[in-house]
Amino acid sequence: MVYHPSWRGLSFHDQVPTGTTSPRAYLEACLERIAAHEPVVQAFVTLNIEGARAAADAATTRRAAGRPLSPIDGMPIAIKDLIETADMPTQMGCAAYEGHWPRRDSAMVGALREAGAIILGKTVTTELGMSEPGPTTNPWNAAHTPGGSSSGSAAAVAAGFVPVAIGTQVAGSIIRPAAYCGNWALKPTQGGIHRGERQGTSQSTAGPHGNTAEDIWAVAREISSRLGGDPGTPGVMGPMATPGPRRPMRLAIMRTECWPRIDATSQAAFERFVRSLDVEILWPEDHPLLAALERALSQAMAIGTRITAFENRWAYRSLPRDKISARMRARLDASATATADDYASLLAERAAMRAAHAAIAPLADALIAPACPGPAPLWNPQAPDAAANPRPTGDPSCNAGTSALGCPAVTLPMLAVGGLPMGVQLIGQPHQDAQMLALARWLHAAAAPVAM
């Protein structure tokens, strides 16, 4: 199936709240698509169809009576299998957690249920959200990866199984798979969506994938309006209704370490898109503060990886080594010699990145960058060299900088290369989540997509 960025996927906002269909009928349409395509896509680890139907019937009754709990009452949502759900196991793509069932809802899942959302199933994650891939395929071409670590969440949205799925990101695990699958996604300001039990790593975030800006914003705000953000943070802020489109006056290009890794065709597609915009564009060489930001972010992926490895080793070093992958064992071994002084030095380098980012705030309304280094790469787990591939779900270098900065990023499907999606991302200052979505909506409506 050849992808074109003019394609528009499944929307909840346009159907159920308008009365076009009922929550139960909408759910049944989702289940039909799952039955038809899940054997190839393999987005889900677990489905709770009986529970989903009961929740959809309750939402249908509320909407018929004119008493919906929220705009997302009756919305089927999939949850990445790193996040706890009371009614389904949380096995984290890892043999060491096979059968693990905490029987409690993560904070964000509880908030979604309070808003009337239907928790339909748990989606495939790479092992522990790291590098070891699961079975999920890209809905546009099953020979390609959907990205990771939010593999199943990205694929479930692109395949039309659900209008929204929750993913998580430490380096590039929300934005990259969304870009590979042709989704919208919000990687919020650090701590913007309450992570519940998943607060052990300082760059971890949770955010929604969807086919429309309206759906992802509604989900983010319904969660944050009930919980705030992580303890000590205010959560995703802004209007409850989706921010209206807003034309930027000036955008600044962010290249960082990912640029040399992007193939020539994908670079050309991005540059053609940017040069077509009726907006002033600043390139990194146009201003010393932008050049300084590029230098500061030049090692963001390595620094973020080392910070996360140090933070994660306390949680994972006691796992049985025969129950984790060779890739995970290598990560743990590489982190074993790091000291608290090393960690402090890495945090200082990350703080310098954030200071360089804050300094460019007066220059532009947002940064704009490729959301992934080209279309999703081929992935064949049976290939002779598959076990040696360090990044089987793709290269996160286009996203590592925003994860280190802790700032909001919105990806939107504006590019196609070789018949596969390639996303564009807008990046703001912390707590500018609403502004980034407004700018993204303007770009999506006003700019011509590029297919090469």
**Residue 281 in contact with residue 366, Cβ under 8 Å?**
no
φ and ψ at residue 158, rounded to 5 degrees: -65, -30
Catalytic (active site) residue 80? yes
Q: Which of 173, 266, 335, 403 is catalytic?
A: 173
Q: Which of 22, 131, 149, 153 is catalytic?
A: 149
Catalytic (active site) residue 335? no
Burial degree of 150 (CB within 10 A; 0-12, 13-18, 19+): buried
3 state SS of 80:
strand
**Residue 41 in contact with residue 139, Cβ under 8 Å?**
yes
Q: Which two tokens stand for residue 183?
A: 């989704």
Sequence-ordered strand ranges (E) for 298-399? 366-370
**Distance (Å) of CA 40 to CA 17, 43, 143, 167:** 31, 9, 10, 21
Catalytic (active site) residue 187? no
Of 295, 293, 301, 117, the residue nearest 210 (C-alpha): 117
Q: Which of 80, 106, 153, 224 is catalytic?
A: 80
3 state SS of 167:
strand
> HSE (CB half, 13 Å, CA atoms) of 260?
3
Active site members: 80, 149, 173
